Structure 1
Amino acid sequence: MRGGYNPITFISSIPSLNESNYNVWREKLEIALALSDNDLALFSPCPTEPVDPVREANETDAAFATRQRDHAEVRMKYDLDRAKWDSSNRKCLMVIKGSIEDPIRGSILEYSTAIEYLKKVKSQITGSSEAYASTLIKKLVNEKYSDGGIREHILKMSNTAPKPKPIDLGLKDEFLIYLVFASLPKGYETFVVNYNLQPDKWNIKKLIAMCVQEEERLKSSHVDKDTYRWCHKTGHYQKDCLEFLKHLIRKGIPYEDPAKRRKTQVSHI
């Protein structure tokens, strides 16, 4: 145990590996193995076994004996190094496998070294992460805003965006902002154009604030146009507005009193 550290404490802090937390898992794993003094097999290759000396044809007994003594020291060092490496490799494999969720561990072949096993784990997670991110990006591209609040719509897209994986699949705010703009209805076209013309770029928080403000402006302008423009009154549709119908007459369109039109429609029922 290095420096009084309790290896169990660090090993227990390693999160279970799933398809979305490889980077955190790998970092915690390496810290735990290092602080418990068990990480030799992760950064050092397996020691190479020395070849036993073979007596040469014209070699004297004394010379061969000397080579055998020298080799004995090399063999002893190898045996000690190999025992230490094997112990580290065995413990690393135990910790690695024990911190992987069952579905992922069951799909990984057995390997004799921790390094080989970790390479396969990364390959497995990277492949599934790419497929997972591809699915989410397709979903974001096809997302369209209809109703329910612009804030909720942006937060939903932001939460859907792939988070960083073993490879760089995280979406930057700027790209996500353009995906949000692409999902907005036609009424936001001027708003989007104005954003593209300005030098400053927004983060997601600023995007939400500005979109909520624009949504309120659009709602207000819609009410002003459809409800108040002709008579400045509420409680009826524009098609039933007397002032609006008089405006049509001035344009040369025949006028019919809305109340009379409704009475005629009722008589034909």
Structure 2
Amino acid sequence: MEMSHLASKLQALGLRLPEDFIVHMVLLSLPPQFGQFKVSYNCQKEKWTLNELISHCVEEEERLKHDRIESAHLATTPKSKKRKTAKEIAVDHASIKKQKKHKEGKSSCFFCKDEGHMKKDCTKYHAWREKKGLPKLSDAN
């Protein structure tokens, strides 16, 4: 409709555009949802006038509206969600603290969890390996 209005304004100024050109421009300006409509127009032998194109576009738009599936997304939260106890909160807080220490570069032993040394230097780890009869770390490599 807008292009038809623009074409009539141009005609009033003395510039007459061929109707086939206007129909072509209208078809190019249609949104992607009209893809099937464009294909069916291009496959037929007869060409439409601007008024015929407008009426067919209105029909196609109504068909698209009718075919559109309306949907709604529902989001819920569980009603039985229990609150954390003070002990659970403390455990979470302690694990966050450990993660922060690890990120800050303060290393701790993976075996005894003490800070300041690594597992390979841990006296408790070496004693445990000796008790199990495992070879010393320097011998294992």
The TM-score, its normalising length taken from structure 2, stands at 0.48
Larger RCO of the pair (alpha carbons < 8 Å, separation 6+): 1
